[in-house]
Each structure stands twice: as structure tokens, then as C-alpha cells.
A and B are shown apart, each in its own frame.
Chain A
Amino acid sequence: MQIDFSYRETWLHRGNPALKLLLFVILFVYAMFVHNLDTLVYMTVFHFILLFSFSGHPLRRLLLYMSPFLLIFVSSAVSMALFGKGTTLWFEWGLVSVTKESFLRGIHLGFRALDFAVLGLTFALTTRPVYLFYSLMQQAKLPPKYAYSFMASIRLIPLLLEELQTLRYALKVRGMRRQRGIGGFYRKLKAYAVPLLAQSIRKAQRIAVAMEAKRFSEAKKRTYYYELSVSRIDALAIVAYAAIAAAAIGLSVYAPVFHMTDVRMIG
């Protein structure tokens, strides 16, 4: 999201942001209805490959962003793997009962979470928020009131981080001392959360006033500094992701690894 770090622009960046959002929503819904573990694994792997090849960001940054992925995988898989229903019992210990079905279902959930995470990262790394909202105004008829509110809040994020810093300073300057224990934690939370929110509300109000002072509300129609349209690149993106989906299905039929056509409880 940070706007100033550099990356190489690829075709994924040049696609229409609103259309890309729609494409990713469809992919997400699709992934939700994939119950074949092999299909899902192949699909996720391809999505990873696409991210690595065309995100345009350096490898180190990608790896940094992906550092929590293992945790995501484990955490998504664990409940189902340990406590899911199933018939082929592998292991039992108290409440824990690992069955073949529940274990594979857990793995499936882990991969699904990974797939969402990869797609989410791909979207975030290849879409500049300002373009997304301009595009949503132009292609999806999002009312400007909403779009500019979003863009203004994006500008506010660094200011709010500064604000947090300032609050720390203020409390120190005013002589608040270190506090311990639950009570101290609560007071500290209150000392930060309330002023931070209050300040952001105030800033938002002042910005709204400034925007209206620049004739924002009077404009019935508007022109756009960034004119975004749908192009052939979007067709490329759609074809690429559709091809991945098709290839995943094909591979799951001809080269299955888990032999699990539907991870849901059968019977």
C-alpha cells in the first residue's frame, strides 16, 4: 500500500482496477466452491507462480509479505483437522480425534486460506488505491462522495500514525508515568484509543469542510484526472486466470495427488 516504494509495472498493474476487483471476487467465490483438494492445490500453486512472476515487486519484499503464510495455513487447518467429523480414525487422544476425512478437510481449508491470501496479496500489490476508486467511480458508478472519502482516508493514514507518536510524546511531556498491570493496561489503552479516534474524527470533519469549500458537493457532473478504461490487458488477465482454473481441474483429473474428489462429509 505504501505508495513510495518502487516496483516494476507489469500487465497486472495496467489492468482496469474495478474489473480486476470483480475478477478477484469471482475467483474468490469460485475457490469457495472448489471441494476437490487436488484442484485447489494446483490452483493455489499457479496463483503463487503468477504472483512471483508478475507482481513486479522484488523477491525479498514478497517473502516478507508472505512470512505469516505458514501460520495462516496451520491456523486454518488445525481446528478441522483435530476436531472435524470423519469415519476413518487415524488417531485419538481425549477430545482430539484425527480422521482421514477431517485431516484432509483441514488441509483443504489450509490451502483455501492460502489461496485467498495469495490472491489478496496479488491484488494489493498490483493496484494503486487511488486508481481503484477512480475506476470504481467510472466503471461501477460508485458515487464520488464515497470514492473521495476513501481516498481522503488513505491520505490520513500516515497522519494518524504520526498522531500516535505525538500522543506518546504528549503523555510523556505531561508527566504520565509507566503503569503496570491490567489497570495500567486499560488506562493506557484509553489514553491512546480515545484521543486517536477523536482526533481522526476531527480531522475527517475538517477535511470534509475543506472539500466542500472546494465545491465538491456542488459538482453535479465531474471530469476525471485519471481516465480509466477497459482494455485488452483485462482480457489477458481474465484469460490467464481462467486458464489456471481450467488447468487445475485438468491436472486434478490426470495427475491427482490426494485422490479426494470432495472433502465434505460424505454420507
Chain B
Amino acid sequence: MITAAGVKQLRLKFPGDESLLFRDLSFAVGEGEKVLLLGPSGCGKSTLLQVLTGIIPGSVEVPMKHEDITIPASWGYVFQDPDTQFCMPFVDEELAFVLENLQVPRREMPERIRHYLELAGLRLDDIHTPINALSQGMKQRLAIASVLALEPNVLFLDEPTALLDPEGTEQVWQTIKNVARSKTVLIVEHKIDRIVDFVDRVVLFDDQGRIIGDGDKNDVFARYKQQLIEYGIWYPGVWDDYSADRALPEAESRMAESGAPLLSLNDFAGYRGKNRKLFIPQADVYPGEWITVVGHNGAGKSTLLLSLMQLIRTTGGYKVQGQDAARINDLASQLAYVFQNPEFQFVTNSVYDEVAYTLRLDRVSETEIAEKTKRLLELFELSGKSGQHPYLLSMGQKRRLSVACAIVKEQPILLLDEPTFGQDARNTFAMLEKLEAWRLQGTAIVMVTHDMEIVERYATRIWTIADGKLASDINAERKRMDEKAAADGAAAGAVGAGGS
């Protein structure tokens, strides 16, 4: 088979790190193959994609060497972060930038721009739309369109759907499937449900950046199950295995709703500038509740959390532990907050300081800080990184750090905006377990997520936000019990019918 992209005996080390990220790694992809790279967060997947395209060391200088390298003649790369892949202010100009680089004549441009937008499923009334006015999902589609405009033979996709709602994820993958049938495709992705059927080969990495399994996907998932579990990598059916191992607490212990509400909302509205972007007629949050907030991209989930944290202007009734929220000047000591974009959270220059920051503000003794910080860093698998600058972490590591530093103070109420995106399985479970333990002690959790597995398994209540309104508020336990009863009833009915 002809090699489309590959490297032999790759050694790579980030300046200042103690150990090599890759030691004599060899990896190749044949033409037309669809390959999924799987591995724990921080093992080097994004870095490897950048080496295979020559971005490292061409555009980003990182010390590395190798024996042999095949960089595809024509490739396209969809990056993890949708906000920093564009250089022009308008949609059409961004695509034109690509076409200009390829020296497409001016008169062909408008038509080709429309064509690629169509291909990527980005429908706009006017192609001259400001990029800043697009939602996350639309931006990611624009990124795909501009990559398609390169007419690449090899596609590199680095978690292109991490921030999308389930529908958007489905659509983006559908798009990729449609346009990439005849191309070579390398995908890095943690949530694999929607792409497993598209890829034919799976490559497994361990936490040291070594390849531990490589081959046909069914083969790999069957043969390396032990390793998949050991390194905490997502695989089809991992949730069922996980909950079989570890029964979730009994239903009645999950039914809290006792005592006085921690938060209570009444005709509560949140504003972005002059526009009302959120409205909640009435809702309460009780100790021991785990509320998952779901809804489409742009529905207003983040706006809800920002409003609860009083970071944007709000009106209406809002009480925290019985006190009027507007009167509380130190809300941060009662509410922990995790931003959707982990980088928003960071205010110091090292992983350790970041976790210690809040504790230091509270004048906790350094020994206690050291002990607490160490425990949290261990839990979130960041121990080896304590001196690193937060921004130099991998995507998943950043996410974990942002959660760690928000919850270190153990406030009674946690507001979490998609705390598990870009996470491998082990870290997701670790985080969820920690949260569940706190919840059982009476902490209330309000968590935005697009992950329906989490909603189904952990939520005590589900808030659906649609068009900036609290569209439904469902008691998840009751729903689960009803479903179980319905299923039992159906089974009993079937038995009864058989018996007569």
C-alpha cells in the first residue's frame, strides 16, 4: 500500500519537559485509509497530527528528530479550537483566502465559495456574513468548508465536534462522511459512537505515547479490551461495562429535595447587552441535587450559568441560601464555577498555583494547601504537570485543571459548564465519581452537558433550555422509575399473555 502519511523513529520533546513525549515512534497511514487515533488525554495525539502535517516543526518549532517522514502533498487540518482558525472577518473572505492561496482565478471564486459552504452544510442567506456572528457549530462547519476548499487528499481531524450539541455532532460527522469517502482520514476523537462505523482502522496509544494496539477496528476493540480499560479509553459499550462494575447508588438516596432550597429563582432573566437571552419563571435547587442542563448550541445554557453566577446583568428574584443574591458580594465562596472554555478559568502561571489560588486568597496554611492540591492533582491525573503553565496543557488536561481549581474550595453549589468534554473515559468517570460523592454529602450540582449518557445515569433532574427559556424541568428519578415500571409492566404483560 502507498503511504499517505507517516513517520519513522520519531523523537520529540517539548522544551523544559523532563521526558520525551515520543520515543522512537513509527506510524504510517496508507492511502484511502480511515484511521481513528485513540488514547488517554495528554498522550500526544494532537502533537502527532501536527508532526504528520509538518506544522511541527514548520510553523511551531519543537525539538524533534526522525529517520523518515512522509508528509502528504495535499492535506487539510481541522483544529480543536474554532475561534483561532480564521484570519478574515467575513465568511466569504475566509474561504477566498484559501482560494487565493491556491491561485484560483477571481471570477471562479464566488461560485466555489458557495459550493464548499454547501458541501459543509453551512447554509447562509448571505455569504458575506461576519464570522463573529456564527455559533460554535457554524464556525466548526466553516472550518471544515475551508479545509475542503484545499481539495486535500488527506484529512486531519482533531476533535472537530468537542463543543457541538448531539445534533450538530451528527451533522458534522455526516458531512465528513459524505465528502471524505475517497480520501485518507485521520481522526482524533474521544466520543467515538458516531464515527466508529466510518473508520476501518483503530490505533491505540498508552499514556506514554507508545502504540499498544493497531489494526482493524473490531479486532482492536475485541483484543485490547483490557488495555482500553486500563488506560481509560473510550470504546463502544464502555458505559455499560462501567455501570455493571459499579452500581449507582439506590434511587431513594438520589431523591433529595429535602430542606430549604440552596438556590431559588423567580421570574429570573439574564441579559446579554440589552437583549434578554434567558428566562426562568420558577425553579429551585435543593441540596443533593444533580441538575443537568441540556439544549442546542446557542440555546442559552452558558447564559443560565453566567446569570446564576451574577456575571451578567439579571433581573427578577434570585436567592442563594435564602439571601438575595444581589446583596451577596462574595458569591464565589458559595458557588463554584467552571467556564465552558477552560482557558477562561486560569489566572496564574502554573498548574499548582492555579489550584492553590483560591485557597491562598482564603489564607489557608501552605501545608494544608499543599496537601489538598496534591490530592486533587492526583485525582485529575495532573501530578506530573504541576509546574507547567496551564495554557501549555493538552485540551483534556486544561479541562480537568479548570474543574479542579473551581471545586477545590468545596462550595455547597457547583455550576459546571460542560466539564467533561474532550476527556478520556477514566478521567470522565473519576470526575463524575468525585462529584457524586460530594452530591451525596449535600452539594448541589448544576451541570451543562451534551453527553446523554451522563444525563441518563447521574441526573436527578433535567433542565432543558430552548430559545433562552427553561422549556422543561423533569425529575429524572421519577422518569427512570416510570420507565422501569413501564418496562416491567410490559414484561409482566408479555408473561401474562403467554400464560393464558
A residues neighboring B (CB under 8 Å): 3-4, 130, 148, 151-152, 154-155, 158-159, 166, 169-177, 191, 195, 198-199, 202-203, 205-216, 218-219, 221-225, 227
Contacts and interface: CB of A to CB of B under 8 A. Distances in A.
Interface stretch (B27-35, B99-107, B197-205, B459-467): B99-107
Contacts of B100: 219, 222-225
Given A219-B103, A223-B104, A202 B391 contact: yes
A159 B83 contact: yes
Contacts of B391: 198, 202
B130 A191 contact: no
Interface in B122-155: 130-132, 146-147, 150
Contacts, number: 141
7 contacts: A173-B309, A173-B339, A175-B358, A176-B361, A203-B84, A213-B79, A224-B106
Contact of A225 (B59, B109, B337, B409): B109
Contact of B87 (A4, A151, A169, A172): A151
Contacts of A174: 332, 345, 347, 357-358, 361, 405
B55 interface: yes
A31 B383 CA distance: 65
Question: Looking at chain A's contact residues, is the secondary structure mostly helix, strand, loop, or mixed?
Answer: helix
A219 to B, nearest CB: 4
A225 B311 contact: no
A218 B101 contact: yes
Interface of B: 53, 55, 58-60, 76-77, 79, 81, 83-89, 92-93, 96-106, 109, 130-132, 146-147, 150, 306, 309, 311, 330, 332-333, 337, 339, 341, 343-347, 357-358, 361-362, 391, 405-406, 409
A175 to B, nearest CB: 4
A116 to B, nearest CB: 28
Nearest to B96: A225
Given A4-B130, A209-B55, A216 B106 contact: no
Nearest to A163: B344
Contacts of B105: 223
Contact of A170 (B58, B333, B344): B344
B347 A170 contact: yes
- List of 5 A-B pairs having minimum Cβ-Cβ separation, nearest first: A225-B96, A152-B87, A206-B84, A175-B332, A210-B85
Contact of A215 (B79, B101, B309): B101
B337 A173 contact: yes
Given A171-B347, A173-B332, A173-B345, A225 B93 contact: yes
